[in-house]
Structure 1
Amino acid sequence: MRLDAHQHFWKYNPKKHEWINDDMKVIQKNFLPDDLLPLLSEHQIDGCVAVQADESFHETAFLIDLADEYQEIKAVVGWADLASDDLDKDLDQFSSHSKLKGYREVLQSKPVEYMLRKEFIRGIEKIGKRGYAYDILIFHNQLEATLKFLKSSPEQAFVIDHLAKPNIKLGIWREWKKELALIAERDYVSCKISGMVTEANWKDWTKEDFQQYMEIALELFGPKRLMFGSDWPVCLVAGAYEQVFDLVERFTDTLSPTEKNQILGKNAADFYGIKE
């Protein structure tokens, strides 16, 4: 089964989606399953993982409703305030939805201390006990704090989104690799090959810009802990779906068929507990 392990849906609202600034006008509109499904079909992708883009319970409910309507949405990564004293009650309201497979917060916009709070770590333990995964959305300069955070929860299934957003635009990678390597030593952490084009020069990138970063990710995590994700529709500010998919597919052409299948779907299915 081929899977796009990372994409988003939204009904565009300028206030709710204020992070979509005027430099991103191309995505200042609605993006819903009927817009994505032809792209998945064109690239022989069987389904997708819908990941939160807004920090609200409404967002989680919205994605679950879409997943109930569209069988191609195989999993949902929703949002919850993990540090809340009411977390158990909040988790209970969605506990009957089998396609809800994980949670995420926009850690990249928060100070590094945020993820190290005891209340937040307590929340991670609670979702872990319920069988949920956790997506880590950070910038490369948050990797050191992320390692400390990961050490506190060795039983939890984690995945690093977007390769931890290295500075591809400037071609900076050495410090990123050094810190990501320490995280990759932990076998309960996976990584998504996603979100690369938006970390490059949006108007002037080449395929070669990404090769070294994908090679490093493969070196550190191996083919069993990497997942392809398009980051559609956010990727559209810098490249079309087919361009983003082509980057990873061409890269995996150098691997064995088994390893290629792992990165293009099997790993995501295993990580999120997705059945055929």
Structure 2
Amino acid sequence: MRIDSHQHFWQYNTKKHAWINAEMAVIQKDFFPSDLRDVLIHSGLEGSVAVQADQTETETEFLLDMAVKYDFIKAVVGWVDLRSPDVASRLAHYSKNEKFVGVRHVVQDEPDPEFMLREDFQRGLAQLKDYGLTYDVLIFPTQMKAALETIERHPEQPFVIDHIAKPYIKAGKIDEWKDYMQQIASHHNVMCKLSGMVTEADWTRWRYDDFVPYLDVVVDAFGVDRLMYGSDWPVCLLGGTYEVIKSVVDQYFASYSLTDQSKIYGENAVRFYGIK
């Protein structure tokens, strides 16, 4: 099964999606499964993992409802308030749905670089493994230290780093991000998504070569068994069409064996998320 491990759906709302600013006009609209289905098929993909973008259970319900109506949505990574005293009952509720496979919090929007180390967040995170759920780590490089400590505290929890931890590609900065990424990758309960890179580059002037040094780091650190392709559609449209964005990963792995390509383009995501 060939899978896009990371994409979003939303019904655009200026207040709820305030992060979509004037420079992002191309994504200031609704994006539904009907908009993605043919794009996936054209790109040779059979399914996708829908990931939360809004910090509400309302969106989690919306994504699960879409997954019922559209079979190509193979899994949902939703939002549950891990800081809530009631988190166990919410995880128990959602884990009854076989397409609810994991949780994400938009940590990148939290002003405290050590947000992940909050006692209430750590307490909620510790309960995910009891329900067989994964955790998607969405961070900026300034939050990698706290993410590393979190990963060290939870050696049995399956983690995946979204968007290769959003390095400063446009500025060409790599050293500190590289050091933390190598440390994170040393923990074998962690995987990494090859996604979201174009939004950290120059949206209109990026070149394939801009991404190669960063891809070299994650491939060397994680290996082909712990990497998964993701588009970050529709956010990726800021930098080009779906096909153009995917071509970066396609070009990088063109010389790899079909076995390795199959892992990156689906098998690893299927295994990590337990996709049926």
CA contact (8 A) 1:7 1:49 kept: yes
How far is the alpha carbon of 1:56 from its aligned partner? 0.1
Alignment of 1:75-90 (within 5 A): 75-90=75-90
Residues 85-125 of structure 1: CA deviation (Å, up to 9, x unaligned): 01112223323211000000000111122211222111112
Calculate percent identity across the aligned residue pairs: 49
The one-letter amino acid paired with 1:39 is V
Q: Which residue number corresponds to residue 169 of structure 1?
A: 170
Cα distance in 2 for residues equivalent to 1:35 and 1:140:
32
Q: Which residue number corresponds to residue 72 of structure 2?
A: 72
For residue 224 of structure 2, give the secondary structure of its aligned residue in structure 1. coil
**Structure 2 residue ranges without an equivalent (≥5):** none
Count of residues paired in the alignment: 275
**Structure 1 residue ranges without an equivalent (≥5):** none
The one-letter amino acid paired with 1:72 is F
Question: Mean Cα displacement is larger for which, 116-125 or 79-88?
Answer: 116-125
Cα distance in 1 for residues equivalent to 2:142 and 2:260:
30
Cα distance in 1 for residues equivalent to 2:81 and 2:123:
11
Question: Mean Cα displacement is larger for which, 86-95 or 230-239?
Answer: 86-95
Are residue 255 (structure 1) and residue 253 (structure 2) matched? no
Q: Which residue number corresponds to residue 107 of structure 1?
A: 107
The one-letter amino acid paired with 1:165 is K
For residue 240 of structure 2, give the secondary structure of its aligned residue in structure 1. coil
Q: Which residue number corresponds to residue 243 of structure 1?
A: 244
Q: Which residue number corresponds to residue 60 of structure 1?
A: 60
The one-letter amino acid paired with 1:195 is G
Q: Which residue number corresponds to residue 145 of structure 1?
A: 146
Q: Which residue number corresponds to residue 128 of structure 1?
A: 129
For residue 112 of structure 1, give the secondary structure of its aligned residue in structure 2. coil
Cα distance in 2 for residues equivalent to 1:251 and 1:129:
37
Cα distance in 2 for residues equivalent to 1:113 and 1:142:
7
CA contact (8 A) 2:114 2:143 kept: no
Question: Mean Cα displacement is larger for which, 144-153 or 109-118?
Answer: 109-118
For residue 199 of structure 2, give the secondary structure of its aligned residue in structure 1. helix
How far is the alpha carbon of 1:222 from its aligned partner? 0.2
Superposition RMSD in Å: 0.9
Alignment of 1:1-276 (within 5 A): 1-110=1-110, 111-275=112-276
Cα distance in 1 for residues equivalent to 2:211 and 2:114:
30
Residues 109-168 of structure 1: CA deviation (Å, up to 9, x unaligned): 111222112221111121111000000000112111111111111110000000000000
CA contact (8 A) 2:92 2:131 kept: no
For residue 224 of structure 1, give the secondary structure of its aligned residue in structure 2. helix
Cα distance in 1 for residues equivalent to 2:114 and 2:247:
37
How far is the alpha carbon of 1:247 from its aligned partner? 0.8
TM-score, length of structure 2 as denominator length:
0.98
Residues 156-188 of structure 1: CA deviation (Å, up to 9, x unaligned): 000000000000001111111111100000000
For residue 265 of structure 2, give the secondary structure of its aligned residue in structure 1. helix
CA contact (8 A) 1:184 1:220 kept: yes
CA contact (8 A) 1:121 1:153 kept: no
How far is the alpha carbon of 1:234 from its aligned partner? 0.3
CA contact (8 A) 1:80 1:103 kept: yes
